Structure 1
Amino acid sequence: MEDKIMKVIRGTLRHEALNIIQVFTQLKKMNLSQEEIDMHLAPNIHQSAKRLVRHKTLQLSLEFTQLGNEYNQITRQVNEDERNKVPIDEQKYMQQMILELEYKMLEKALEIKKIENRKVPDTPIETNLIEHGLFGAGSHSKAVMKKKYSGGFVQQTRNGFRRLYYENANGVFLGIFDARVLAGLTKLYFENGGEQKFSFNFNELVRAMETEPSGKEYMELHESLINLSRTQIIMEEYYLPGSKYRQRTILYHPIDTLEFILRDGEEPGRERAASVTFHRHIHDSLQAGNFLHMNVVLFNDLHKPITKLLYVNMINSCAQNVTSYHVDTLTQHLNLQTENRSLVVSGILDAFQELQTMDVISSYEVVYGPRRSIQYINFVPGDLLQMSNKYPIEIDKHDNEVIQETLQLMLTKNEPMHST
């Protein structure tokens, strides 16, 4: 899949470069300075770069590095030929100019992506759902899920940052796409005046999710809404601002009701509008201001599912001044479906590396335990993560006392703190 995407990126670059190579060639012959050439080419480069921004930053960055190596190599060859007064190889010279154009396009595309990823976070996410790990970053295939849960009913207790009991009557674990859908619904909830029940068209939800409308996207939305509505949970430490203590909830559906709206020309199962009702726990929590904001553009641009979910959890953790995770607790919280700890830890470290590359965190370090196994991962929030903390959540007095006591204990023992 990755190779296919890289080929698509390279194919787009080559197509766009060949479209403007004649203009570039003419500019080169006019004895202009490099600055003047860049100025004349800027509109063409920008237009071509916009056709690349649908790809993820990590993919574009990998191609940018590869392309830079190719361009430097052929430039060295051309310069060496000139020094040795070797007759000009027109094909080699043309290849150098094409690579130069492609390099400039990719550079501009990455610049555009960086600006987009610095968009002010404006998509609300309810903190109880984050803290209790409703969504997972890893799941089995549909075939494995059917085999493992032959009755089509999933039950699970997750001992992540906060204990969660999970049921799904559709035989699935909620994943990254479902997290995007619920975040989009929450944005629409506020746009509709914070009404517990609200209606929407799928194109409105797609807009809230910062994605492109398509038949495939609408089908996935339809399925995700069903999966969300057929999920029941018990939160062991539900928190409502203003309450002195956290409490255990009843078994409830986060989306209490779902009703698809059949419009003219649509078939049952292919509806493109719906009405949902948030459960009162979600509604009350949102009304009390118990939410943070995520940058859904950045979320969509992150490459790996673990990275996406880590980003969301870090927003909440940093709002509570927690910058260290216990690896085994984090594994359960992200619902990573494998018993191979080494593989899990490797995937988590890859996610931290991506978050550092994307400026979500400035740095991270691992803390080893017995037999050199990684026990904790500490991190320093970066610019993009700190932007999300413009909207901090309130921590109740009881939680604050627990955090302070834990910090004091950790300092006494000289151990890193794990997430609460």
Structure 2
Amino acid sequence: MAEKLIRQIEQSTNPDDVTSVEDLLKESASKLDSTKSYLTKDITEASVYLLQKLSQIVSETSSVVDNLSLTKNQYARQIIKLAKEMRERKKTQPMELNLMASNPFFTGIPNSYKEKVKETGLAEVVKNGTKTLEYQNSEGLYLSEFDKRVFTALTSIWVDQNCKQIFKFTEFELLRRLEMNPKGGMQHKRVRDSLRALTTTQIVIKEFYEKKNANRIVTSKFHLVASETTIEEYSKDDGKLQSREYQFQFADQIRQSFQDGYTTLISLGILDTLNTKTSRELYQLLCTIRDMAPQEQFKYTVEAGAFDVSLTEISEYMHLANNEYDNRRNILKACEELKEVYVLQDYVKLGTGRSCSAIRFYPGTLLKKEEVKVLTQG
């Protein structure tokens, strides 16, 4: 993969065209950063490969230096460095920590849940994990990973509007935040369906942590969206819809946690590089545990910087719908991917014999608190 990446870079650079080398390097780095098939580890490996290639160029040319090869190598190394910085410094998004810990979003929906919706018309379930969650949706909808992306984008818009009690947005703005084509009719429908699912969901979080009230832990019941208003404007000429604006108000509990600073930071850049739902969910779970208050985090902490989480808790947090064997296999694959992109330095399977009942996680560079703070400020 590293050699393929290098070939792509070398084809995009022309050392003879020195009219705007800086712009050329930045443009090439931006394209490289946006290519999801290249993971962070591929970019790092490419950097090492280029240094080895540089030594080879120098040794082979001896007294006569191949200036063209040297210049291409120099450009490629600069592009690699810029792309890595772009990827690592992508915006981090604060999210309400109790909500992330209870995770009212479903990686998979068991058939038994779907059958219950057919019978009652409601989506109701008690969901375990790092916190116990009672989930209810009056229209029989279960929040998906896409709904989680939409909720994250809404939070981003809300934060940009200084966490006002009521914040405004349009479908076009929301689609841009989601990096989706705002001109596609199907995309608009998908977003509207997601907003409907979010606004009709009510949850009860057991052990809701209130930082402002002397660190009390209580049971809290609320709708994710406390109120909503939709304003539509139609053309006077043909009566067609011209614009649709939404006015949302998040639950008081969410707004209070943000005011108190009880949030977790999620790197959108890292989420973009992860290939599977399980990897993305595991990354967000680890961020949540990392940022928990000491009163909640202590049950996971085993040694400096490391923490243990049972496989059962991980599966329930993600609400994985497969059997125990497949769930364990998918979680371990996710651990490998997080290790490849430096979210994890390492992980250890815990259990007796060949069994694995829990995992000990050793945070990597991109999960450690001090690194997240640096990237946020950068």
Deviation for aligned residue 1:294: 1.7
- Other-structure match for 1:365: 348
Question: 1:195/1:64 Cα in 2 relative to 1: closer, same or farther (>3 Å)?
Answer: closer
Residues 187 and 62 from structure 1, CA distance in 2 versus in 1: closer, same or farther, beyond 3 angstroms?
closer
Partner of 2:368: 386
1:331 maps to which of 315, 338, 341: 315
- For residues 99-151 of structure 1, the C-alpha deviation after alignment (integer angstroms, 9 at most, x for no partner) is xx9x999988865553233116542100010111222333469xx97556215
Structure 1 residue aligned with 2:36: 56
CA deviation profile, 1:19-54 (whole Å, cap 9, x unmatched) = 88xx79xx8xxxxxxxxx999999767655644544
Find the partner of 1:248 among 213, 219, 236.
Answer: 219
- Give how far 1:376 is off: 1.0
8 Å CA contact retained: 2:226, 2:250: yes
Contact 2:166-2:249 at 8 Å conserved across structures? yes
Q: Which residue among 139, 149, 152 is the counterpart of 1:180?
A: 149
Distance in 2 of aligned mates of 1:292 and 1:64: 27
Structure 2 residue aligned with 1:171: 140
Pair 1:278–1:348, CA change in 2 (3 A): same
**Contact kept in structure 2, 1:60 and 1:110, CA below 8 Å:** no
Give 1:209 deviation, angstroms.
4.6
From 63, 70, 89, the counterpart of 1:119: 89
Instruction: From 162, 171, 191, give the equivalent of 2:160.
Output: 191
Q: Which has the higher strand share?
A: 2
CA distance in 1, matches of 2:234, 2:193: 21
Match in the other structure for 1:133: 103
1:286: which partner in 2? 258
Flag the 1:384–1:207 CA change in 2: closer, same or farther, 3 A.
farther
Q: Structure 1 residues 359 and 59, CA, compared in 2 at 3 Å: closer, same or farther?
A: closer
TM-score normalized by structure 1?
Answer: 0.66
Contact preservation (8 Å) 1:318, 1:389: no
Q: Is the 8 A contact 1:292 1:315 kept in 2?
A: yes
Supply the distance in 2 between the matched residues of 1:299 and 1:60 (Cα, whole angstroms).
12
Counterpart of 2:357 (choices 375, 378, 399) is 375
TM-superposed CA distance for 1:246, in Å, is: 0.8
Aligned to 1:312: 284
**5 Å matches for 1:7-86?**
17=11, 47=27, 50-51=30-31, 53-57=33-37
**1:284, distance to aligned residue in structure 2 (A):** 2.0
Quote the offset at 1:315 in angstroms. Answer: 1.5
Residue type at the aligned position of 1:325:
V
The alignment's TM-score, normalised by the length of structure 2, stands at 0.72
Q: CA deviation at 1:328?
A: 0.5
Counterpart residue number, 2:332: 349
Report the structure number with the largest CA radius of gyration: 1
Cα pair distance change 1:219/1:107, threshold 3 Å:
farther
Give the Cα–Cα distance (whole angstroms) in 2 for the partners of residues 207 and 161 of structure 1: 32
CA distance in structure 1 between the partners assigned to 2:141 and 2:240 by the alignment: 25
Match of 1:263 in 2: 233
1:128 is paired with a residue of what secondary structure? helix
Q: Summarize the alignment of residues 85-124 of structure 1 with structure 2, pairs less than 5 Å apart.
A: 113-119=83-89, 121-124=91-94
* 8 A Cα contact 1:218 1:272, kept in partner: no
In structure 2, the CA distance between the partners of 1:171 and 1:58, relative to structure 1 (3 Å rule), is: farther
Deviation at 1:381, TM superposition (A): 1.2
Q: What is the Cα deviation at residue 309 of structure 1?
A: 1.8
Q: How many residues align?
A: 340
Classify 1:113/1:243 alpha carbon distance in 2 versus 1 (closer, same or farther; 3 Å).
same
Deviation of 1:178 after TM superposition, in Å, equals 1.8
Identity of aligned residues (%): 23
Q: Which letter does structure 2 place at the counterpart of 1:377?
A: I
Q: Residues 40 and 84 of structure 2 are in contact (CA less than 8 Å); yes or no, is this contact kept in structure 1?
A: no
**1:202 and 1:368, CA in 2 relative to 1: closer, same or farther beyond 3 A?**
same
Unaligned 5+ runs, structure 2: 46-71, 302-306
Cα distance between partner residues in 2 of 1:224 and 1:358: 30
Distance (whole Å) between structure 2 residues aligned to residue 349 and residue 38 of structure 1: 48
Distance 1:112 1:336 in 2: 37
Q: Secondary structure at the match of 1:187?
A: helix
Change over 3 Å in CA distance of 1:342–1:274 after alignment to 2 = same
1:277 is the counterpart of 2:277: no
Q: Which residue of 2 aligns with 1:150?
A: 118
CA distance in 1, matches of 2:183, 2:365: 33
**SS of residue in 2 equivalent to 1:162:** coil
